[in-house]
Copies of this chain bind each other. A is one copy, B any other.
């Protein structure tokens, strides 16, 4: 009999943001396929006999191509195993979970999606930045930096018009290009901005500024990937609402 695959969102980084359901399926897993940036503490929930396979990606250098990850999930399930595919954030938000679900469906393998705290939500919460806030932001949009540095994919003027809060995931590397394009599209230089590194983890760091100066400031502060950029009025709330800086 075939096993089952669980596509599990591990949350933004800190182990406490895993869901109860996520912990439950890790506890009973026979094999774990995991990405980079997964908290080591999550493995302590698994059985000592669990097989853990790293399939993460680092800087576009894919350890294992997506097609092969899909094949591995299917093979393990066909061996009757309980398979956990552990992803950062949420599997269906820039997590390629849809592609894995497709492959499993085609192969006739049962699966469950265990949603997680997606990184824009988790990282902003830990920085004290509400994605929406009465009077400041009534909607939010999430894109990736890769998308925003690709001219063909995006109408720059619309990107800004389109949202009250704009979150750009993996936007650090291409920030000089992205910010240039936003400015050329007419987004005001004084638009409030924050860059968040490794939100929710011990390496968490925040830099505040505006569209014009946030790049230089984050460089000076030594910010590195993974990081996300928040644009919009709510980014200006961080210095007030950051609840970790006031902790005893």
Contact = CB atoms under 8 A, between A and B. Distances in A.
B162 A138 contact: no
A32 interface: no
A167 to B, nearest CB: 10
Contacts of A17: 19-21, 115
A96 interface: yes
A248 B42 CA distance: 28
Given A130-B98, A138-B144, A113 B19 contact: no
A131 B16 contact: no
Most buried by B among A15, A96, A141: A141
Nearest to A132: B94
Contact of A141 (B92, B97, B101, B140): B140
Given A105-B240, A161-B158, A132 B92 contact: yes
Interface stretch (A118-126, A188-196, A218-226): A118-126
A141 B115 contact: no
A41 to B, nearest CB: 10
A163 interface: yes
A110 interface: yes
Contacts of A147: 138-139
Contacts of A29: none
Contacts of A91: 125
A125 B134 CA distance: 27
A114 B17 CA distance: 8
Contacts of A158: 158, 161-162
Contacts of A243: 101, 110-113
Most buried by B among A11, A96, A132, A234: A132
Contacts of A118: 117-118, 121
A93 interface: yes
Interface in A215-248: 234, 237, 240-241, 243, 246-248
Q: Give 6 closest A-B pairs by Cβ, nearest first.
A: A162-B162, A98-B130, A16-B21, A115-B125, A139-B143, A92-B130
9 contacts: A11-B19, A90-B121, A90-B131, A98-B130, A98-B132, A102-B241, A113-B125, A139-B141, A139-B144
